[in-house]
Amino acid sequence: MARKSRKFLATQEMAYAEVQYIHTALYIRLSVEDRDKRSNSIETQKMVLENHLSGKPEFLVHDVYIDNGCTGTNFQRPAFQQMLADIEAGKINCVIVKDLSRLGRSSIDTGFYLEQFFPAHKVRFISVADRYDSENPDNLHGGIILPLKNMINEAYSMDIGRKVRSQLRQAMRAGDYVGAHALYGYRKDPKDCHKLLVDEEAAAVIRQIFEWAHEKVSVNAIVMRLNAAGFRAPNHYKHQKGVITNENLVGTGIWQTRTVARILDNELYAGDMLQGKTKVVEHRQVRAGADNLIAVPDTHEAIISKEMFEAVRAWRTQVAKESKQYEVTPFAPNIFKGKAFCVHCGVSLQWQRNRRKTMPDAYYFHCPTNSRVKKGACAGVTMYERDLLPAVRNMLKTRLADTLKKYAGALRGAAERQRWLDGMQDSLTQSRTQLLRARGLVQGLYDNLVRDIICEEDYRILKEKYDADISASLGEIDGLEKGVAALKGQIAQYEALLQASKDLSHSRRLSAALVEFLVERIDITHDQEITLTTRFEDEWEQYSEVWQQCANM
């Protein structure tokens, strides 16, 4: 058959422009129990999917979505959720997996996506190993086979889960320690990771804590003594010993009241093993009831005697009982909750109250470091609410006015804003049309090569040109989409800030809603100097940067 010239090909471009590409998502999932199975490795799954698409240029891979170490019993997986978002955004119309178990092991949820979600969004689904293609009329038997396979996959996952839980419960009953790390005061036996040995250096601190508690020293006073003596807090100590390597888990090295309270409440230090205090519900660790506890006495060497432990427990129970008998007057709402901090030590300021008989109670913010952690550890901060409120309100009014001027200058009038949006939307439509045309040309080009209408050299040259056109169109589309989103975001934020400015002008008192919307952080010094960090100023910078990029396109 005679070969066609490039001139002939140019006349055929419009004929191929209507060819539709299949925007494909390759989904890969590897659960913890699959990591030892080579057939289900990420590399193997990817190879299977790529081999399946070999020789099928109509499938354009949008992205490869990988969930590593994620269970198939639920669908709250990062990559899977991102894939769903891209489907809803119209970026994907085909999903391919190695087999059904990679999609999920819950028969009900998997069935929902196969039978409802994917069809509703016109998404084609292909399971390579199962030889299933939702658009293949020869796969009609899948209506029976797929639900059956889903149930088998779910049953397999449930069986694995039951076996793991059963083994853990059996180990607990045998008095084996099943925690990932030994508690402070102990170390794991190098010969048996389920056995505990006393760590003498840390055990000395544990004994001191219990001796103080036995002398009826309060938990807060114990914390002060520990920090004053320079004892390292548990996670800081474990980090220095190399037991904890993650820097995010180390903390500040300062003892806290909750740390001491947990030590005093733990039977482990008296030589008894009490496990099962927590359980996993829907892949989240939650506190379990008494029926889940497994107690085994005398499983390891005790650091303190049972008599001392019970005496401390009895005293703490009595203190808690007595404290509940006092009448408690509720505090007034704190509109700056979680936003006011001490400049000197960085801790969140406490909301406290001065009780007054003839006048309303006075509320103030106070740094707890010197009274809760260590005397002299901080310069100290105290500031009354009556002084903080007007100061923050005035700062917000000033900064809002400045930011609104910037927004108004950038956004101009409503009519011009709409012209910008319309122009960007028109450009976006044109870019998408050009992209569709270029992809159609690539498809037609491949068909001509297969039918021997063009030679491989012509195919390679033209394909490079069309691929470059596709890349350019994708870049333009991405930039324009960001521009449209930025402009719409600017307009919405401008209107919200305008309303907030009016609310501040009409009311002399800040509301909790306004503080949450406008304020990111308030830092206060010993001399009551205030540094206010707002939310809207940073947002303006982000919007402005994207908008300027789009304006130059």
C-beta of residue 377 within 8 angstroms of C-beta of residue 370 = yes
Res 418: pLDDT: 78
pLDDT at position 13: 45
Average pLDDT (434-440) is: 85
Question: What percentage of residues in the chain have a pLDDT greater than 70?
Answer: 84
**Is-contact 60 22, C-beta < 8 A?**
yes
Rounded Cα distance, 44 and 436, in Å = 32
Q: Are residues 98 and 207 in the same domain?
A: no
Tell me which residue of 95, 113, 103, 116 sits closest to 154, measured CA to CA.
103
CATH number of the domain at 314, please. 3.90.1750.20
Q: What is the DSSP string of 391-414?
A: HHHHHHHHHHHHHHHHHHHHH--H
Please indicate, yes or no, if residue 94 is contained in any of the structural domains. Answer: yes
Q: What is the DSSP letter of 348?
A: B
Residues 153 and 246 in one domain: no
Residue 508 has pLDDT above 80, yes or no: no
Mean pLDDT over 482-500 rounds to 83
Residue 512 lies in a domain: yes
Helix (H, G, I), strand (E, B) or coil at 324: helix
Kindly report which listed range (84-93, 287-296, 356-365) carries the lowest average pLDDT score. Answer: 287-296
The pLDDT assigned to 350 comes to 93
Tell me: pLDDT of 39 over 80.
Answer: no
Q: How far apart are the C-alpha atoms of 274 and 267, rounded to whole Å?
A: 7
For residue 359, being part of any structural domain is answered with no
The owner of tokens 């009241």 is: 257
Q: Which of 270, 301, 324 is the last residue of a domain?
A: 324
The pLDDT score that the predictor gives to residue 107 is 67
State the pLDDT confidence band at 505, using cuts at 50, 70 and 90: confident
Quick one: 400 and 441 in the same domain? Answer: yes
- What CATH number has the domain bearing residue 104? 3.40.50.1390
268: phi then psi, degrees, rounded to nearest 5: -55, -35
Domain final residue, candidates 324, 352, 370: 324
Instruction: Give the model confidence (pLDDT) of 171-226 as tens digits.
Output: 778 888 888 788 999 999 888 888 999 999 999 999 999 999 999 999 999 999 99
Indicate the pLDDT class of residue 37, thresholds 50, 70 and 90: low
User: Looking at the domain assignment, is residue 374 inside a domain?
Assistant: no
Tens of pLDDT, residue by residue over 370-386, are 988 888 889 999 999 99
| Same domain, yes or no: 402 and 499 | yes
CA-to-CA distance for 62 and 174, rounded, in angstroms?
52
Residue 297 has what DSSP assignment?
A: S
Q: Which two tokens stand for residue 430?
A: 């044109």
Q: Say if CB 42 and CB 493 are below 8 A apart.
A: no
Query: pTM for this structure?
Result: 0.56
Q: Which residue would you say has higher pLDDT here, 180 or 394?
A: 394
Q: Report the C-alpha gap between 348 and 76 in whole angstroms.
A: 33
d(CA 32, CA 406): 51
Residue 372 lies in a domain: no
92 in a structural domain? yes
Nearest Cα neighbor of 318 from 221, 209, 213 is 213
Q: Which residue type sits at 180? A: A
Which of 161, 195, 220 lies at the terminal end of a domain, its last residue?
161
Kindly tell me if the per-residue pLDDT of 150 is higher than 60. Answer: no
My answer on whether 96 and 224 are in the same domain is: no
pLDDT score recorded for residue 225: 93
Q: How far is CA 45 from CA 96, 106, 275, 475, 520, in A?
A: 11, 20, 39, 30, 44
Angle between helices 456-506 and 385-411 (to 10 degrees): 130
Q: What is the dihedral of CA 407, 410, 411, 412, to 10 degrees?
A: 110
CB distance 550 to 480 below 8 Å: yes
Domain co-membership, 303 together with 394: no
The Cα 551–Cα 483 span in angstroms is 8
- Domain annotation covers residue 269: yes
Domain that holds residue 42: 6-161
Q: pLDDT (tens digit, 9 = 90+) per residue, 77-96?
A: 899 999 999 998 889 999 99
Phi, psi (deg, nearest 5) at residue 142:
-60, -25
Summarised one tens digit per residue, pLDDT across range 252-266 is 788 989 999 999 999
Beta bridge partners, 281, equal 284
Tell me how crowded residue 340 is: count the other CB atoms within 10 A of its CB: 25
Q: Does residue 535 share a domain with residue 430?
A: yes
Same domain, 139 and 22: yes
Please report whether residue 371 resides in a domain: no
Nearest to 44 by CA among 14, 66, 19, 72: 66
pLDDT at 545 over 70: no
Distances (CA, A) of 93 to 26, 130, 428, 471: 11, 20, 20, 20
Write out the two tokens for 124. 């084609």
Same domain, residue pair 450 and 542: yes
When the pLDDT of each residue in the chain is averaged and rounded to a whole number, the result is: 83
d(CA 5, CA 2): 10
Distance between CA 132 and CA 102 in Å, rounded? Answer: 14
% of the chain exceeding 90 in pLDDT: 36
- Within 507-535, residue ranges assigned H as helices are 512-518
**Structural domains counted in the chain:** 3
Are residues 154 and 220 located together in one domain of the fold?
Answer: no
More confident position, 347 or 147:
347
Dist CA 173 CA 550 (whole Å) = 65
Is there a single domain that holds both residue 154 and residue 207? no
State whether 226 and 315 are in the same domain: yes
Instruction: Could you list the beta-strand ranges (E) of 165-321.
Output: 186-189, 192-198, 273-275, 278-281, 284-287, 294-296
pLDDT surpasses 50 at 16: no
Q: Residue 303 carries which side chain, given as an amino acid letter?
A: I
Helix (H) or strand (E) holding 43: helix 42-53
